[in-house]
Amino acid sequence: MATLPITKRGAEALKAELHRLKTIERPTVINAISEARAQGDLSENAEYDAAKDKQAFVEGRIQELEGKLSAAQIIDPAALDAGGRVVFGATVELEDENSGDKVTYQIVGEDEADIKLGRLNINSPIARALISKEEGDVAEFQAPGGLRRYEVVSVSYI
């Protein structure tokens, strides 16, 4: 399996979710299954079926998270020294050349991407266009609304 880049914050979030699933969700589902079993006939027991479905989801998510964490390459943006270039984990301030609007994004892994929080997936068109750019460079990428151009105003590693 290939390594998956993830920031330190993203890895901590996945570890926290895994811990919650193992210590809270799994025991809760096991209790629900045993309570449903105690009600008798399992062939017509909707609570039992629902609990088994929930168990399958929880166990699947646990396996998924364990797989991602085992393949994770954890990168601490604060420890980076990329000489002012945009790299994974960097926080980039951009200015739209058409509108003059300024936006700030951090380039992160797939699991932690959230555009509303300013976190771009490393595989997104804009992030791919930004990689290796420096302050003052212009990044062009194809967006659904057409070609977009952003000037890199600043690059930081926080």
Structure tokens at 119: 């976190």
Distance between the two ends of the chain, CA-based, in angstroms?
29
CA angle 53, 4, 71 (to 5 degrees): 65
pLDDT digits (tens, 9 = 90+) for 11-38: 999 999 999 999 999 999 999 999 988 8
Phi, psi of 148 (to 5 degrees): -120, 145
pLDDT digits (tens, 9 = 90+) for 95-124: 999 899 999 999 999 999 999 999 999 999
pLDDT digits (tens, 9 = 90+) for 45-77: 888 999 999 999 999 999 999 999 999 999 999
CA angle 137, 139, 140 (to 5 degrees): 145
Residue 141 has a pLDDT of 93
- What average pLDDT is seen over the chain? 93
Rounded to two decimals, what is the model's pTM?
Answer: 0.84
Query: Judging by DSSP bridges, how do beta strands 146-156 and 91-96 pair with one another?
Result: antiparallel
